Amino acid sequence: MNKKKIVWLIPLLALSLTACSQKQKQAAPKPLTKAQVIKIASKSFKSGQVIQSVKLASDETNQVVTANTVFGGQQATFHINNQITSKGKSSRSEEWISSNHVYINGSSSWYKANLENLSGHTYADLVSAVYNNPVLTNPAPKLLNSYKLSHKKSTYTLKATISDKQIADQVVAPIAQTLAQAQNQAQVLKRIRKYSTKQKLQVELVVKDKKLAYANMFVTAKLGKKMNIRWGQSYGNFGSHDFLKVPTNVLAAKDLPTSKK
């Protein structure tokens, strides 16, 4: 290559590099504001997974009740794996819920019953608890003001810790109203909710690529002088079960036997 061509190529190369640099600078998006992240987090969702739990602990005892729920479908459908752990031992059960019917897996056979008669809560209660949690869909102004925002690249995290009984109860209420599998459990959770004191709410919302990735809500409280309580509701896997349906073999369930006791 002769010297004249080299002389022309050098400024052209410099111009090309400058143009690329300018394009990269222009392409860098502005960070989302706290208001924008909150708005994204409050959008409704069609399906996902939620873990509801209540933990009671003291110096003498420790008990955890958990419902790990996959939800979704054209008509809201719920597949729930329940677990109760106490004194180092665990018991488990599996349910499907659709409309006002609950299908229970018992000894490799499926049985069906009326949801409200069995558990003490309705199908509408469950739909509201999972899909319309006010901490996500309609957060109180005091909670909004408590959020602190941090971000790394396209991942944004909102965190808040707030001692407000009314706002904390927005997390506790749907758990207490729908976690129970039987009428007597529903009454116990109702009493625990009623007599809990010193409630403190911790919320963590994570938005990634302008979509809610997961949400954690925990309320710690006291029951009397010795018992500590932690209520929890954690969401994730949004959009993963949009077409959820009760399986055919489950729909063929027998009626759950009733007892006079």
Q: Is residue 221 part of a domain?
A: yes
pLDDT tens, position by position, 157-192: 999 999 999 999 999 999 999 998 888 888 988 898
* CATH code, 59: 2.50.20
Q: Is residue 33 part of a domain?
A: no
- Checking if the pLDDT of 229 tops 70, the result is yes
pLDDT tens, position by position, 17-30: 555 555 555 666 78
Question: How many whole angstroms separate alpha carbon 20 and alpha carbon 26?
Answer: 10
The sign one gets for the Cα dihedral 180, 125, 213, 137 is negative
pLDDT tens, position by position, 59-84: 788 899 999 999 999 999 999 999 99
Q: Is residue 158 part of a domain?
A: yes
Concatenate the DSSP letters of all residues of the chain into one string. --HHHHHHHHHHHHHHHHHHHHHHHHHSPPPPPHHHHHHHHTS--S-EEEEEEEEEE-SS-EEEEEEEEEEETTTTEEEEEEEEEETTEEEEEEEEEETTEEEEEETTEEEEEEHHHHHSS-HHHHHHHHH--HHHHS--HHHHHH-EEEEETTEEEEEEEE--HHHHHHHHHHHHHHS-SSHHHHHHHHHHHHH-EEEEEEEEEEEETTEEEEEEEEEEEEETTTEEEEEEEEEE-TTS-TT----HHHHTPEEPPP---
pLDDT of residue 12: 47
Q: Is residue 55 part of a domain?
A: yes
pTM score of the predicted model: 0.85
- Residue 224 confidence class, pLDDT cut points 50, 70, 90: confident
pLDDT of residue 74: 94
Q: Report the chain's mean pLDDT, rounded to a whole number.
A: 88
How many domains does one find in the chain?
Answer: 1
Q: Is residue 64 part of a domain?
A: yes
Give the residue, 48 or 193, on which the prediction is more confident. 48
pLDDT of residue 61: 82
User: In terms of residue numbers, what domain contains 223?
Assistant: 39-252
- Residue 8 confidence class, pLDDT cut points 50, 70, 90: very low
Token pair for residue 160? 């808040």
Q: Is residue 20 part of a domain?
A: no
- Residue 259 confidence class, pLDDT cut points 50, 70, 90: low
- Checking if the pLDDT of 227 tops 50, the result is yes
pLDDT of residue 25: 57
